[in-house]
Each structure stands twice: as structure tokens, then as C-alpha cells.
Amino acid sequence: MDIEKLSLTFQTNDGPVHALSDIDLKIEEGDFVSFIGPSGCGKTTLLRVIADLEQPTAGTISVNGMSPNEARLARAYGYVFQAAALYPWRTIENNIALPLEIMGLSRAEQRERIQRNMELVNLTGFEKKYPWQLSGGMQQRASIARALAVEPDLLLMDEPFGALDEIVRDHLNDQLHQLWEKTNKTVVFVTHSIPEAVYLSTKIVVLCPRPGRIYDVIESDLPRSRTLDIRESPEFLKIAHRVREGLKAGHSYED
């Protein structure tokens, strides 16, 4: 993915809001990229621009050689929201089936994809449950399975684990990491958590607000294959330190 000199200004009743300013970023296939930064620095807006849910006011962006609009129509990405956004009146398997029905896949193909992706997120056996019968962490895994079932090259995730407690979050970080290793998808991930960003990413983009812009891009030198233990290593702590310094430098304490 190639983003060049991209800016987005929202016109509001209180005047213009410079949500994104002069963003330059390259994301390679198979990268795991995190956007981290204080509230209002434009993380979600940038993700939404990639997803064709917002239009930039300047600059260019290409997603797998396509415009975001072409990529959306080609179903090149899956989007996972902060809250699981599952339909409560549909079972887990029928939630995952929904985009597949819209795509017009055969029942057999739908069933095969549901089974395979539920297995990938360790939810086999919960096909007939309703979302409200599952824990928050399981609901998030189900929404990841739904995004994966479309078989996108690119997974866009907006703070998917933000509302979960620390232990569940650690567990899901580990699972997501393994999933990424197994599937070799490109992932763009929004987070507020430094350990989460450093653990998961091959590239960490530190953003700062007013106007929303990139402060630092950190290429991780951690091995691609990792376990949560790596968080104790000096290499991990060094990257975490650099992210923290970036956040401090870009932070305004007047908020």
C-alpha cells in the first residue's frame, strides 16, 4: 500500500479540523502495521481512508495497486471494529455467513469457509451460539473470523481489543499474532497500547495530533515468530521506549 502526501480536513461548524496532514507511508505485503497515538491524532480516520469510508482532501493512496474504492468493491480487505458489531439475532455461523451470502457463494462453500475460519480463531463448537452467549473476547474472535471468511488480502482492525481486560487481551494478542504468521495477511491495526503495538507489529507508526501527522515510523527488528515472553527482552523494551518517547513528544497536556 502506498500513501503519498495525504491530507484530510473535515469542515465543521467550528471551522476546519485537520484530521490528517501530509501522510507518507508505505506498507508492504505481509506487514503488520500499528497506528498508535493520542486521542484525536487521526488513527481511525486514516484507517477509514484506506477502507474507502472517508475521502482524502489531498494526496494519493493505492491499496494493492487499486484505489480504495476499487479495493472495497473487490473485497480486498476485511474490517474489524472496536465493538464486535455482530447481529444479535443471528447465530455465530450465520453472522459469519452474512457477507458470504451477499457475495453469492454456494451453501457448501459458505459452510467450508465458516468451519475453516472458526477453527483459525479457536471457536469451533460455538457455531450455533448467539453473540450474547459468548464472552467479549470470543465475540471479537468471531468478528475476526467474519472478516477473514471473505478471504481478504488485507485486514483493517480498529482497536479490536480496547474494551477487553488485560489477561484476555494478552491471550488475543497471542492468537492474532499466530493467525497473522499462519495466514501471512497484511494487517493494519489501531491501538492505544504500547505493548500491544510492539508485540504485534513489524512496523509501528506513531501519530500526533493537531494536525494529525506521522511523528515516527519504527521498523521492528524483533523476530517475525514471537511469543509473549518477548515483552521482557531488551530489544522489545528498546522499541517500546522509542514509541513512548514519540508519544510524549507529540502529546499536548492541555487536553
Ligand X SMILES: Nc1ncnc2c1ncn2[C@@H]1O[C@H](COP(=O)(O)OP(=O)(O)OP(=O)(O)O)[C@@H](O)[C@H]1O
Cell of 198: 510492539
The residue among 19 and 121 lying less far from ligand X, judged by its C-beta, is 19
| Sequence-ordered list of residues with C-beta below 8 angstroms from that of 13, at least 6 positions apart, any chain | none
Distances (CA, A) of 95 to 74, 121, 142, 153: 21, 15, 8, 21
The residue among 131 and 209 lying less far from ligand X, judged by its C-beta, is 209
Distance between CA atoms of 124 and 142, rounded to whole angstroms?
10
- Chain position carrying cell 482492525: 157
Encoded amino acid at 76, one letter:
A
CB of 13 to ligand X, least distance (A): 10
Cell of 218: 519504527
CB of 183 to ligand X, least distance (A): 26
CB of 56 to ligand X, least distance (A): 13
Question: Measured at the alpha carbon of residue 53, what is the angle toward residues 116 and 202, in degrees to the nearest 5?
Answer: 55
Which residues lie near ligand X (CB under 6 A)?
Answer: 10, 12, 17, 19, 37, 39-45, 212
| Sequence-ordered list of residues with C-beta below 8 angstroms from that of 237, at least 6 positions apart, any chain | none
The residue among 145 and 190 lying less far from ligand X, judged by its C-beta, is 190
CB of 133 to ligand X, least distance (A): 29
The residue among 40 and 99 lying less far from ligand X, judged by its C-beta, is 40
Query: 136-149 and 107-120 are packed helices; what angle lies between their axes, rounded to 10 degrees?
Result: 130
The residue among 43 and 169 lying less far from ligand X, judged by its C-beta, is 43
Q: Return the closest-CA partner of residue 67 out of 127, 1, 149.
A: 1
The residue among 20 and 147 lying less far from ligand X, judged by its C-beta, is 20
Sign for the CA dihedral angle at 225, 227, 233, 238 comes to: positive
The residue among 17 and 98 lying less far from ligand X, judged by its C-beta, is 17
CB of 14 to ligand X, least distance (A): 9
CB of 74 to ligand X, least distance (A): 25
CB of 122 to ligand X, least distance (A): 28
Distances (CA, A) of 150 to 52, 125, 189: 17, 21, 18
